[in-house]
Amino acid sequence: MVYHIPALLQESIDGLNIQPNGIYVDVTFGGGGHSKEILKHLKTGKLIAFDQDEDAVINIPSDGKFIFLNQNFRFLKNNLQFNNITTVDGLIADLGVSFHQFDEPERGFTFRQNAPLDMRMNKTGTVTAAQLLNTMDTEKLADIFYRYGELLNSRRIAREIVAARVKKPLATVNDIIDATGKLAPFRQEHKFYAKMFQSLRIAVNHEIDYLQEMLEQTLSVLKPGGRLVVISYHSLEDRVVKNFMKTGNFEGEEKKDFYGNAETPFRIINRKGTTPDDNEIAKNNRARSARLRIAEKI
């Protein structure tokens, strides 16, 4: 079974503008696709890779230039300092869930197979999707579905879940589908469940919060001229990345100096972002929603 096929691989590697003696970070190691390509370009340089999922260790390459850290990327700066690294020449983040995680039923990431409602990226994490669904009140559940899944009927979804768990705790994928199935639009059921499961996964793993924490650290970790390369897979992530690269904050609020010039920590390399072409999508359908953004630290 293929662990993962990275989206926009060549475009993202080109975007890093790799120097043979540079220091680079892959904060989402996963199947190691991006890391292995980066290593091909290094001579005396170094690559540090992060992944909180312990399953990723099976993909670690045997290379003296490579350091693997079984950590969440929110601890980027501290872990680099622990390895005597203060600044780096480039950082890449592929924010997608790996094929391995989707295709392992017991992880509970997909609605296509009945499995326990887990969804933890880090299997040592304490809170599962089932625990959220069975303990949060209607307002908090509705907020998750609205903010992270952009589901307009989030309140009704939350009410159905709360009503269902009174009869029995929600423990499996089928339990949540049974509880909310009547709300899925006709012929758009897959899209509805995809958004619901996405929102739960984001909440369980604090994905947006931790993404913001990591991005903020790049302001001090990246050298001037260093590249920030991020691949996102849904509008919520992409908005966070786009605003940060454009303005240095997550609201997208431009700050101006005394003369009225925009103050920004980055120079945008591909202003509209890069998406996969038809050829790549034909080979890897899961890449269809990917968007690559590249910026250079000023």
Gap between the Cα atoms of 161 and 170, Å rounded: 8
- Amino acid, single-letter form, for residue 152: L
Gap between the Cα atoms of 167 and 214, Å rounded: 41
Asked if 201 and 123 sit in the same domain, the reply is yes
N-to-C CA span, the chain: 42
Chunked into runs of 10 residues, the chain (298 residues) has average pLDDT values of: 82 98 97 97 98 92 97 98 98 83 66 91 90 98 97 98 98 97 95 96 96 98 98 96 97 88 93 97 94 98
Asked if 77 and 130 sit in the same domain, the reply is no
Asked if 94 and 226 sit in the same domain, the reply is yes
Asked if 132 and 174 sit in the same domain, the reply is yes
Instruction: Indicate the DSSP class of residue 21.
Output: T
Q: What is the pLDDT of residue 55?
A: 87
Residue 291's SS3 state is strand
Task: Tell me whether residue 217 is in a domain.
Answer: yes
Asked if 15 and 137 sit in the same domain, the reply is no
Number of domains the chain is built from: 2
Q: What is the pLDDT of residue 227?
A: 98
Q: What is the pLDDT of residue 261?
A: 84
Task: Tell me whether residue 2 is in a domain.
Answer: no
Q: What is the CB-side half-sphere exposure of residue 40 using CA atoms within 13 A? A: 9
Closest to 273 in 3D by CA, of 5, 95, 40, 12: 12
* CATH number of the domain to which 68 belongs: 3.40.50.150
Asked if 212 and 285 sit in the same domain, the reply is yes
Asked if 195 and 226 sit in the same domain, the reply is no
Locate all alpha helices (DSSP H) within 206-234, ordered by sequence: 207-221
Asked if 49 and 72 sit in the same domain, the reply is yes
Alpha-carbon distances, residue 248 vs 73, 152, 228 (angstroms): 19, 30, 12
Asked if 80 and 215 sit in the same domain, the reply is yes
Closest to 202 in 3D by CA, of 211, 215, 214: 211
Closest to 226 in 3D by CA, of 147, 142, 297, 125: 297
Asked if 212 and 95 sit in the same domain, the reply is yes
Asked if 69 and 119 sit in the same domain, the reply is no
Final residue of a domain: which of 205, 224, 257?
205
Stated pTM of the model: 0.93
**3 CB-near residues (< 8 Å, 6+ apart):** 30, 31, 32, 58, 59, 98, 99, 100
Which contacts qualify for 232-238: CB closer than 8 Å, 24 or more apart?
Answer: 232/95, 232/290, 232/291, 232/293, 233/95, 233/96, 233/289, 233/290, 233/291, 234/198, 234/289, 235/150, 236/147, 236/148, 236/150, 236/202, 236/208, 237/95, 237/207, 237/208, 237/211, 238/273, 238/291, 238/293
Gap between the Cα atoms of 250 and 242, Å rounded: 8
Alpha-carbon Rg for the chain in angstroms:
20
Task: Tell me whether residue 142 is in a domain.
Answer: yes
Domain enclosing residue 188, as ranges: 104-205
Task: Count the helices and strands in the chain (H runs, E runs).
Answer: 12, 9
Q: What is the pLDDT of residue 110?
A: 83
* CATH number of the domain to which 189 belongs: 1.10.150.170
Phi, psi (5° rounding) for residue 229? -125, 120
Final residue of a domain: which of 205, 235, 254?
205
Final residue of a domain: which of 176, 205, 234?
205
Gap between the Cα atoms of 240 and 252, Å rounded: 8
Task: Tell me whether residue 1 is in a domain.
Answer: no
